[in-house]
Structure 1
Amino acid sequence: MNLDTRIKFRHLLCFLEIARHGSFAKAADAISISQPAISKTLKELESLLETRLFERDNAGVELTAAGARFMRYAGPCVQALRDGVGSLRNEPHQPPQVRVGVLSTVESQLMPEVLRRLHQRHAALVVSVATGPGAYLLAQLHVGDLDVVVGRMTDSPQIHGLTFEHLYSESMTLVVRPGHPLLAEQPLELSRVSRYPLVLPLAGTTIRKHADSLFVQCAIEPSAQRLETLSPTLSRRYVASSEAIWVAPRDAVQRELLQGELCELDLGVREPGGSVGICSNAAVPLALPAQWLCEVVRAVARDYRQADPV
């Protein structure tokens, strides 16, 4: 079917902002138009495409299957147009840039080494890093605001329509500060874990599901006193100054375990965790800087996997 010339940039922009925010009101604020105007624009687009792009309910709006397919192409299309306009307006000889989303599972260990090697190879390169929950980062990837996302995300529904490349599997572990009372117990009485505050990933995230699975396997009732966060920095500092137990991906705490800054609790079982990898939008070829990043991520992940094959 030929492209309908009645589809305008404003239609695509409206569609992407609604998908990004999951709300007509927030999308309208983002592009500075009224809510009735954004509803009308979407209705025009749905009429031109002869399909429904969103389902509406009291909780907000959600992409239909057709909407998800359309977003796979609409996001990169709009971003490519923005890049083209920007290339004419910006000063010549701008350094190449790659925009990468990084989940907390790889933020502490994998990505710093990736960035070090990447900048060793490329003297002029801007790496723009976004962090946050997987659902948020994958939504940014869908609409073209990110080139790739790196981390553990295969259980996220937002991954549909994207391409995932597995790098390695990573287990979960429980860590505490040196001198924690539980470290003196050999063997560890699992029921005592419930007596201490917990540091857990945010509810609803992929990594939280693995943390919850670990407690189910060990028949441990999680403490009602807990910190829920995706920030490795906050988690480390809180655990170092308290008797809290951090349920963490091994990648996030490996350096601290090797240096004795944190200690691992032996539960007798190991949660296999999830698949860490690279996610991209197959609808658009990766730009050269994004290809450079992916090459280095693969190399660092291979070294990491060989050093810690568990």
Structure 2
Amino acid sequence: MDNKNAIHPGVKLRHIRAFLDIAAEGNLSAVARAQGITQPALSRTLAELETLLGQPMFLRQGRRMHLSEAGALFRRHASIALQALEAGAAALQPGNHGTLRIGVLPTVATRVLPQIALRLRELHPDVTLSAETGPHFHLMRLLREGSVDLVIGRLPGSAEIAGMNFEHLYEEEVILVARAGHPGLGRPTAKVLAEMPAILPPVTALIRPAVDDYLAANGLSGLRPAIETVSLALGRGICLASDAVWFISRGVVIHELERGDLVELPTGARFLSGAVGMTQRQSWSAPGLDDFQQIARDIARVRE
């Protein structure tokens, strides 16, 4: 078949919606009830799609429907395509109503994103900004699936960047913090790390390799963390209630540093930093997305 017409012309939007609903529910009868049609009618729609695509989309196990390998692949692309169509239709509505869905890492959520959100609200009062926070791997999965329109956070790894665009905004330091009045203040940092409970980023966090390299360079490659987290609520709470020290991106704890609740312990390392920017799928649009990106660029320039 000609690559320009890889999808069969008989595939309709109703086929795609039915497929995605079944994939989400895993049950034909539940989807049929939600759509207000009979189960046999829904089964025929699914059968038509599988015939047009030339592959089974589901594995039937009793009443449950599980995606086949081909179905899982098609779902990923179909979800993105449907979201793009809906975003395009929303962009044509008067006032550009709609929702802009953003994935955001904790290092950006504390100070940078609130500034962007408030300015965006002034420009697009009819656009709802929906922000999803979480670890990098989770946000990138949502981006690939089309569940968010853009991720603002750390530079993705080489294996994640295919089909994506990353725009650098600024460099963010990774620092070592502890509670005010910590007994390790003024002492060599390596000794403090060897003696005090250490909180490290999870192994899945993009900043973890830089922290591991720092520890290795200081003869602490065998250091076992007491806790692994980048959660402000958890890390802050543990530091304030103990002598633990925490490696974390400066942006996550910026308010705690300014208030004096937490203090920075000098590491003497210049390489403990990483790029922060915006990652999105290529050729993607959503209500307010262009202005969101421009506001982020403007704020990043002020930070420099």
The two structures have a TM-score, normalised by structure 2, of 0.74
Equivalent of residue 179 in structure 1, options 178, 181, 194 = 181
Q: What is the rounded CA distance, in whole Å, between the counterparts of 2:52 and 2:195 in structure 1?
A: 58
Identity %: 31
What's the secondary structure of 1:199's corresponding residue?
Answer: strand
Partner of 1:32: 27
Q: Distance in 2 between matches of 1:46 and 1:13?
A: 16
Is the 8 Å Cα contact of residues 169 and 272 (structure 1) preserved in structure 2? no
Equivalent in 135, 139, 147 of residue 137 of structure 1: 139
Instruction: Quote the Cα distance in structure 2 between the aligned partners of 1:49 and 1:139.
Output: 27
User: Residue 294 of structure 1: SS of its match in structure 2?
Assistant: helix
Letter in 1 for 2:161: I
* 2:13 matches 1:4: no
Q: Contact (CA 8 Å) 1:196, 1:223: kept in 2 or not?
A: no
| Number of the residue aligned with 2:200 | 200
How do 1:263-302 and structure 2 match up within 5 A?
263-284=263-284, 286-302=285-301
Aligned length: 275
The 5 Å alignment of 1:250-269 reads: 250-269=250-269
Structure 1 gap segments, 5+ residues each:
18-26, 35-40, 51-60
Mapped partners of 1:251, 1:46: distance in 2: 52
RMSD (Å), alpha carbons: 3.9
Distance 1:46 1:151, change over 3 A: farther
Indicate the residue corresponding to 2:161 in structure 1.
Answer: 159
Query: CA 1:31–1:289 in structure 2 vs 1: closer, same or farther (change >3 Å)?
Result: farther
For the residues of structure 1 that align with 2:88 and 2:189, how far apart are their CA atoms? 61
The structure with the larger Rg is 2
Name the CA distance, whole Å, in 1 between partners of 2:257 and 2:120.
26
Aligned counterpart for 1:75 among listed residues 62, 73, 79: 79
1:38-88 deviation per Cα after TM superposition (whole angstroms, max 9, x unaligned): xxx89x8699489xxxxxxxxxx9x99xx59x95x543312134558999x
Instruction: Give the 5 Å matches for 1:79-228.
Output: 79-82=83-86, 95-155=97-157, 157-185=159-187, 188-221=188-221, 223-228=223-228
- CA distance in 1 between counterparts of 2:17 and 2:201 reads 33
> In the alignment, residue 291 of structure 1 is paired with which amino acid?
D
- Counterpart amino acid of residue 80 in structure 1: A
SS in 1 for 2:146: coil
Task: Check whether the contact 1:103–1:131 (CA below 8 A) recurs between aligned residues.
Answer: yes
Q: 1:147 Cα deviation (Å)?
A: 1.1
Change (3 A) 1:254 1:172: same
CA distance in 2, matches of 1:203, 1:124: 40
Is contact 1:200-1:229 (8 Å) kept?
yes
Query: What TM-score, normalized by structure 1, do the two folds share?
Result: 0.73
In structure 2, do the counterparts of structure 1 residues 264 and 114 end up closer, same or farther at CA, with 3 Å as the change threshold? same
Question: Stretches of 4+ moved more than 6 A in 1?
Answer: 13-17, 44-47, 84-87
Instruction: Report the residue type matching 2:269 in the other structure.
Output: V
Whole-angstrom distance in 2 between the partners of 1:46 and 1:102? 40
Q: What is the distance in 1 between the residues matched to 2:145 and 2:247?
A: 32
Residue 15 of structure 1 deviates from its aligned partner by 8.7
